[in-house]
Chains A and B, each alone.
Chain A
């Protein structure tokens, strides 16, 4: 099968990847040792595989790697700076918003894209914004609190 060469920026660094035509972006991330992004449903339903592609949160399990050619990609690995956690990550830890933690990268990437556009959200805004992220453990109260806390931390 003819491999495709794609050029993109991953977490701020230029990258050249060789991918298969039928390879999903999620599979390509894993193949390039970026395993923080999780495969959960694989059908677009849970948003657990969320990454930021050109500023928008998307599900990497239902996007082809080839579609990311030329894009700026941000994954959960790219959030912390110089060894210190991003405020959203910190807020998730402080609120106890991760239990098994499997859904957490997806929640955090979705929250990241959302807070870029809505720095001062209400709780209803946060609940609507996280509407597609599925979590089997927390019951959503703590992830919502964490995003509200992160919004405060980021604006102070």
Chain B
């Protein structure tokens, strides 16, 4: 269901984002702009501030300075649940699924903002809620099919293999029908085949559902393959931006990554 942007404003625009934790400056004035229908990569060495950036955008850590706008609307400082209603969905670097619930119920929670939960609706399930539940179940089944989760829909989510759990979380985010989808390392810990699956899903989500995607990813091959543009962070600062091939070839980026792995090699040598 492709959706046209109401204006030609960027899907997501962050200006001069700063955020510190105590004395640590995790973000030092970052600008980031995701265009409608774009797959945008946010990369950088460990601890460079990628997740913090996402937490700022989604309202978990309000920025110390800077503004965040979604399709031209200022959303800075809104609570996470309010930001979701404006049209942002995300996944977490470390899985955040609801244990004890089935895969299906987890994805159904993703429909929350489109439903009308109420005490009376629950009491009078047969007259009220059943119709709404069925309608949204139909939507969720489409997503289950899209993400190929049919086999496991009734399994408790915690018994599902890790790679599939990542997929369930992506399905849950898609169920919210966001305008902007933010994925924090959706392929962490996956083998090549699973990675390709996820890459395919991200491309399809953009092409078939018209979402704009902001993706944090360490696997450079994937970033090169699916991202239209990237932004590279290092110690909370932008060190490169643009088409992936150019950005990743910039000397600063090579230095940041090399310095990092060189430092790590040294660390490994001493420990």
Partners in one complex: no
